[in-house]
Structures are given as structure tokens and as C-alpha cells.
Amino acid sequence: MNNDTICALATANGVGALGIIRVSGNDALSVVQKSFPGKKLEKQKSHTIHYGYFMDDEEAIDEVMVSIFLAPKSFTTENSVEIAFHGSPHIGKRILETLTKNGARMAKAGEFTLRAFINGRIDLSQAEAIADVIASENEASRKVAISQLKGGITNEISILRTDLLNFVSLIELELDFAEEDVEFADRSALKGLLDKIELKLDSLIESFQYGNAIKNGTAVAIIGKPNAGKSTLLNALLKEERAIVSNIAGTTRDTIEEILHIKGHAFRLIDTAGLRETQDEIEAIGVKKAREKVENANILVYLADAATEDYSEDIEMIRSLQRDDLKLIICATKIDEVLPPKYETVEDIFRSKIDHDFDFIRISAVENQNIQDLKNELSSYVEQLKSQENNVVITNQRHFEALQKSLNAAHKVKEAIAFQISTELLAYELRNALEHLGEISGEVTNDEVLGNIFSKFCIGK
Ligand SMILES: Nc1nc2c(c(=O)[nH]1)N(C=O)[C@@H](CNc1ccc(C(=O)N[C@@H](CCC(=O)O)C(=O)O)cc1)CN2
Ligand SMILES: Nc1nc2c(ncn2[C@@H]2O[C@H](COP(=O)(O)OP(=O)(O)OP(=O)(O)O)[C@@H](O)[C@H]2O)c(=O)[nH]1
């Protein structure tokens, strides 16, 4: 690790009452001292705050407060200084320029947190939790991020790792004494441990569904034939919400999403850009576009006009879209236009033709009938994921993948035991399981993974 002294704006880039610049590294105090002549910073105690003017040569840039954190008692564990200035972006820029002249360099994205990780203050899952805390937008996401920051996942996993490590040592001992044909590691005890580990990993892996709902929201696709009432329903759902329209990069195509909050959880109502095109085009795109829309959705809300007679196309569409992990809600729309017996028959038609669980709701978007029922139904999807929740919820794709790989290796160890495959293979898969668990806390890692994680941080974090 290099010992450069780094600096960056820690607050958001824009006008504020105050702005804060952080400086971290061996020379943090002397770098700031050059511009803060009033007080001998080296002589001050850690965690003290000092008043004065920040100078560029003879020129006073701003009246500031300087806070000192002496190694190892700082976020990065290095000497750190924070400069709180009047929140003008111009002043922030002048101070950073001066610090650079004084011998600091501008920090890269995530570099403060990277240092906190490399210097052992936090593990990798905690570093990721910091990014999640910053990104949290509601109580649900804040709570899981803080629990992860406090070491939630690492604690769960380190117990499993310790037990596994124990067996790895015994198995390696067997390999060392291969000639003698002894068994140090009790196979049935190992199998017992693996059962326990599989259970734990299974439940952590399962929690990712809820974690994902918290972190990214639940994706809802609204599909139906032209004129079924999709736009009208969307407007009815979003009535009291300020619709946030976002372009999500990285998906195969541009999708527009409108965010709907129900009981503290976010639902992303997915719209594919360009779906509302001319009539010809809608017919041409049909199933293909609908499939793209539903591909990554958790819930499909299918709208069928209660006033029509023939539902064969709707049924065909639903059949071609249905998947086991997709919650299906069929809505008979425009019920204000028909008499009750009619929508009873609509439900019967769908019930007899679709061999997939679904909820059926009759709505009128125009008269705002039963829109709340639909919201409740959406909400119950998340509530039901939550009820499977364990204490620790996985919200991170990287952790999810590491847990899956570890579970896979655990399965293979069990196979190796059951079929009495070589001790070498057993040791190999055990180490594999261990290594994948270690990836989560970063005990096992590589530069590419680190680069990937920290480059996504903002500058100054
Ligand atoms: N001003 C300021 N506020 C901040 C941060 C910061 O860097 N600066 N943080 C940055 O993310 C977060 C808090 N995280 C921190 C973690 C550890 C230490 C620290 O100095 N720990 C020492 C001393 C602890 C003590 O005095 O009890 C230590 O643990 O040794 C500081 C901030 C949020 N608020
Ligand atoms: N009576 C009644 N009319 C409705 C209702 N919902 C939608 N409509 C009408 O049905 C027509 C089509 O509604 P849209 O919301 O544009 O339907 P859509 O599915 O978005 O249509 P496309 O954009 O062509 O796919 C409009 O004239 C709406 O006013 C409803 O609940 N009751």
C-alpha cells in the first residue's frame, strides 16, 4: 500500500452551509499545517477541533474548522485531518488545489474506504455496506445496510468458516499420512457439519430475494393488449406519487421505470421505451416485447378488458410468459363498463385455462375501484419474502454468488464422502467451500474484485 497523502471533498458537490474536505495519510498533518499557520497541529491531541484561516501563501482562502484524527484512531487508521469550510464549491476547489500544492494528491473513488479495508479497520462486506448506507433511500434499506456495517454477515459466516477450517486441517493431516491409511477427520461428524452449513447457506441464499426487493425494489411488469387500460392504471397507481423516470443503463434495452412506494417498499413499474408505438408496431412486437418486459420482473400484472368476449389471445400471452418465480396477478379492467356477472365469468375463464397460481382482481382505473386491492396484493409479495427472512439479509449480488459457490462445494464434499471418493478431492472441495466463504469478508480476494467494488464509490468516500 502506498503512503501517499490523499485529499478529497467529502460532502456533496454543490452549495451548502458547510463543506468538508478530508485528508488522509502519513503527512496529513504537515500538509494541512502549511496552510494553517495559527496552531501547531503536531502538538494537538487526536479528536480535537481547531479554529483558524486556511491560507494559500499569504492569502486567506476561508475561515475554517480543522479536525485532527491521529493514527490509528481514524476512519482510515492513518493520520487524518478534516477541514470544514463555508460551503462554496469554489472555496472547496481552492482548498483542494492548495492541499495538492502542499504535497497531497487527489483521492481516487473509494480510496478512503479502500484504505480502511486494507488497514484492517473494516472487512470487505462492511466496505460494501458503507456504499449501501450512503445509497439507502428508505428505512428498509437503511436498516439492512447498517446491520451489515455492524458486521452481520461476517459474523454469521465466520462461525461456519472456523468449523470448516478445523476439518480442513484434519483432512490435510490425513493427506500427509496417506501411507498409513488413517482417518483423523470423522466422516460422520463432517457430514453433520456440512448439513448444518448447507442449511445456513440455503437460508442466507434465500434471503437474497428479500434483500434484493429492499435494495433494488420489486420489478412489476404491466402487460395487456392494446387498449386494455395500462396507461390509465399506471396513472391511477402513481396518482399520489411523483413519478421518477429513470433510464437504467446496462440492461439490454432502455427501460423506463416509474417508482411506486407501498408501505415503505419500492416497486419499479417497468415500461419498455418505445412500447407505446403505432398500432402496426404493437402487433408486430407482441409477445417478444412483452417477454423482454417480463424477463427480469418479479410480478406480472396482466390486464384483460372485462368488456371483451374473447380471451384466447390473453390466455396465450399469459401462458407464454408464465414462470415459476413470477407472481401473476390478473386484473379484469374497466369493470365500471360491465355488470358483475360478466366479470365473474371472466375470472372463471382464466381459472379454467391457466394452470398457474394467480390472484384475480377486478378494477376500474377510471373510477378508482379496487386499486387499493392491487396495491395490497403487490405489497403482500414483499411481506411474504420478508417472513422467510433470517436475522441477516443478503442484499449483495457478490455475496449471493459466493454463497452459492460455497454451497455447491459443500454438496460436492458430501458426495465425496458418500461415494468415498479420494481424500484429495474431499480436501479440494472443502478448501473451495472455505475460500468462497472467505470472499465475502475479503479474507480471500483479488485486485480485480477490489477494483470493481471501490471504483463504484463516489470520490471522497
Ligand atoms: N466527520 C466525520 N464524520 C463521519 C465520518 C468521518 O470520516 N468523518 N465517517 C466516515 O466514514 C463516518 C463515521 N465513521 C468513522 C469510523 C471510525 C472513526 C474513528 O476515528 N475511529 C477511531 C476512534 C474511535 C473513538 O474515538 O471511539 C477508532 O476506532 O480508533 C471515525 C469515523 C460517518 N461520520
Ligand atoms: N370505462 C373505463 N375506461 C377505461 C378504464 N381504463 C382505461 N379506460 C379507457 O380505455 C382506453 C384505453 O386505455 P389506455 O390506458 O390508454 O390503454 P393502454 O392499455 O395503455 O393502451 P395502449 O397504449 O394502446 O397499449 C382509454 O380510452 C381509457 O380511457 C376503466 O377503468 N374504465
DSSP letters along 275-332, please?
Answer: -S--HHHHHHHHHHHHHHHHHT-SEEEEEEETT-S--HHHHHHHHHH--TTSEEEEEE
**Residue 77 backbone class (left: φ over 0; alpha: ψ -120 to 50; beta: rest):** left
List of long-range contacts for 273-282, beta carbons under 8 Å, 24+ apart = 273/247, 276/231, 279/226, 282/226
Measure 74 CA to ligand 1 centroid, in angstroms.
6
* Sequence ranges of the chain with CATH classification 1.20.120.430: 137-211+396-442
* Sequence ranges of the chain with CATH classification 3.40.50.300: 220-244+253-385
Give binding residues for (6S)-5-formyl-5,6,7,8-tetrahydrofolate as ranges: 22, 82, 121, 461
* Position in ligand 1 atom list of the atom nearest CA 461: 11
* Protein residues whose CB sits closer than 6 Å to any atom of ligand 2: 224, 226-232, 276, 333-334, 336-337, 364-366
Mutate to test the pocket of ligand 2, among 223, 231, 271, 272 (most ligand atoms within 8 A of CB): 231
pLDDT at 246 exceeding the cut of 80:
no
Q: Name residue 6's beta-bridge partners.
A: 24, 105
Decide whether any atom of ligand 1 lies within 6 Å of the 69 Cβ: yes
Tell me the pTM: 0.78
CA–CA distance, 3 with 74 (Å, rounded to integer): 15
Question: Cβ atoms within 10 A of the Cβ of 65, count?
Answer: 15
Percent of the chain with pLDDT over 70: 91
Question: Whose CA is closest to atom 12 on ligand 1?
Answer: 75
Measure 256 CA to ligand 2 centroid, in angstroms.
20
Question: Whose CA is closest to atom 17 on ligand 1?
Answer: 75
Mutate to test the pocket of ligand 1, among 75, 133, 457 (most ligand atoms within 8 A of CB): 75
The answer to whether 164 and 391 are in contact (CB under 8 A) is no
* Sequence ranges of the chain with CATH classification 3.30.1360.120: 6-123
Q: How confident is the model at residue 333 (pLDDT cuts 50, 70, 90)?
A: very high
Q: How many CA atoms lie within 13 A of 193 on its CB side?
A: 21
pLDDT at 250 exceeding the cut of 50:
no
Measure 117 CA to ligand 1 centroid, in angstroms.
14
Give binding residues as ranges: 22, 82, 121, 227-232, 246-252, 271-274, 461
Measure 63 CA to ligand 1 centroid, in angstroms.
24
Question: Whose CA is closest to atom 24 on ligand 2?
Answer: 226
pLDDT digits 0-9 by tens, 103-132: 999 999 999 999 999 999 999 999 999 999
The answer to whether 23 and 7 are in contact (CB under 8 A) is yes
Q: How confident is the model at residue 216 (pLDDT cuts 50, 70, 90)?
A: confident
Decide whether any atom of ligand 1 lies within 6 Å of the 210 Cβ: no
Question: Whose CA is closest to atom 11 on ligand 1?
Answer: 75
Question: Whose CA is closest to atom 25 on ligand 2?
Answer: 226
Measure 94 CA to ligand 1 centroid, in angstroms.
25
CATH of 6-123, one of 3.30.1360.120, 3.30.565.10, 3.90.1170.50, 3.40.50.720: 3.30.1360.120
Question: Whose CA is closest to atom 20 on ligand 1?
Answer: 74
pLDDT at 252 exceeding the cut of 60:
no
Question: Whose CA is closest to atom 14 on ligand 2?
Answer: 229
Q: How confident is the model at residue 243 (pLDDT cuts 50, 70, 90)?
A: very low
CA–CA distance, 166 with 109 (Å, rounded to integer): 39
Give binding residues for K(+) as ranges: 227, 246, 248, 251
pLDDT digits 0-9 by tens, 267-304: 999 865 434 444 444 455 556 777 888 888 999 999 99
pLDDT digits 0-9 by tens, 400-457: 999 999 999 999 999 988 998 888 888 999 999 999 999 999 988 888 889 989 998 9
For every residue of 35-50, DSSP letters joined together read: T-TTS-GGGSPTTEEE
pLDDT at 249 exceeding the cut of 50:
no
Which one of the ligands is nearest to 225 CA?
A: 2
CA–CA distance, 39 with 33 (Å, rounded to integer): 8
Measure 359 CA to ligand 1 centroid, in angstroms.
50
Q: Which among 159, 179, 160, 186 is positioned nearest to 426, based on CA atoms?
A: 186
CATH of 137-211+396-442, one of 1.10.1740.10, 3.40.50.150, 1.10.3720.10, 1.20.120.430: 1.20.120.430
Decide whether any atom of ligand 1 lies within 6 Å of the 429 Cβ: no
Measure 347 CA to ligand 2 centroid, in angstroms.
20
Question: Whose CA is closest to atom 7 on ligand 1?
Answer: 75
Question: Cβ atoms within 10 A of the Cβ of 353, count?
Answer: 14
CATH architecture entry for 220-244+253-385? 3-Layer(aba) Sandwich (3.40)
